[in-house]
Amino acid sequence: MEMIWAIFLAAGFTQGVSGFGSALVAMPLLTLFMDVQMAAPLCMLNGLLITSSLSLQLRRHIDWLRIRPLLLGCVPGVVFGLVVLKNISNTILQICLGGLIIGYAVFNLLTTVKKPEKMSGLWPYVAGFWTGGFGSALGAGGPPTIIYVSLTGWSHDEIKASLSIFFFISGLFTALGHGLSGLTTKLVLYEFAKGAPFTLIGILAGVYFYNRINRRYYLKIMFWLLLVMGVGMLVKALF
C-alpha cells in the first residue's frame, strides 16, 4: 500500500512543522483504504513514533505541572473511547471523525482567539478526557487539547513541547488499550513497520522547514485541506 507510506510522510511533515495535526491528516486519508477499526490503532502507533521524536527534541521546554491534569483526565477518556470503538459501527465513527475534523478546521479558520491570563483548573481535565476518548475511538484526539493550549497564553515552544509529550504519553495508554482489546493486529503492526521510515523522513523535513516557512500561511492551507478531507469523509460515510 504505497499510498499509506505517502500518508505517513505527510503526517510526519505536518507535525514536524506545527507540533500537532499528524492524526488529523492521516486518519481521513487512511479510512479511504481501510475501516476505522484498523486505521485508529495504525494511526496511533504512527503518532507514537512522531511524538517520541519531537519530545526528545523539545524536552527542555516540558513543564510536567501543566501536563499532569491533562494526563489524569486522559486515562478515563481512553477507556470510554475503547468501549465506543468496539461497539459502534464504522459508518457512525466516520461521521463522528468527519464532524470533528470539520469543526476543528472551521474553528481555526474563522476564530481569532484572545488569550486569557488564567483558565479554570477544570478545563485541562476536560480537554484530557476528550482527547483520550477521541484518540482511542477515532485515532485523532488532538483538537480538544490543541484548543485548550491555544487559550493558555503559553509560548510557541512551550505549546509544541507540551503537546508532543502529552500526545506521546496519552498515545501509550491508547496503544496499550488497542493491544489488549485485540485491535492492534499483525497486519496493523506490519503496515506500521513498513511506513515508519517515511514517517521519520517526514518529521525531519518538517523540522527543517519549521523556521524556514511562514507558519501562519502554512497552517491556513493545512486547515483548508482538513476541511475538505472532513467533508469528503462525511460524504463517503453518508452516501
Cβ partners under 8 Å of residue 192, min gap 6: 42, 45, 46
Q: Which residue has the higher pLDDT, 88 or 72?
A: 72
For 84-127, how does the pLDDT look when each residue is reduced to its tens digit (9 = 90+)? Answer: 877 877 678 778 778 877 888 888 788 765 555 566 678 889 98
> For the whole model, what pTM was predicted?
0.72
3-state secondary structure 10-72: HHHHHHHHHCCCHHHHHHHHHCCCCCHHHHHHHHHHHHHHHHHHHHHHCHHHCCHHHHHHHHH
Query: In this structure, what C-alpha cell is assigned to residue 194?
Result: 513498513
Phi, psi for residue 35 in degrees, rounded to 5: -80, 165
Q: Are 64 and 124 in contact (CB under 8 A)?
A: no
**Rounded Cα–Cα distance for residues 46 and 195 (Å):** 8
Q: What is the mean pLDDT of residues 127-147?
A: 80
| Alpha-carbon radius of gyration of the chain | 16
Query: In this structure, what C-alpha cell is assigned to residue 212?
Result: 524556514
Query: Would you place residue 73 in the very low, low, confident or very high pLDDT band (cuts 50, 70, 90)?
Result: very high
pLDDT at 185 over 60: yes
pLDDT at 238 over 90: no
For 12-63, how does the pLDDT look when each residue is reduced to its tens digit (9 = 90+)? Answer: 888 887 777 777 788 878 888 888 788 888 988 988 888 888 788 777 877 7
Closest CA to 78 of 181, 159, 8, 191: 181
pLDDT at 219: 67
Q: What is the mean pLDDT of residues 184-200?
A: 91
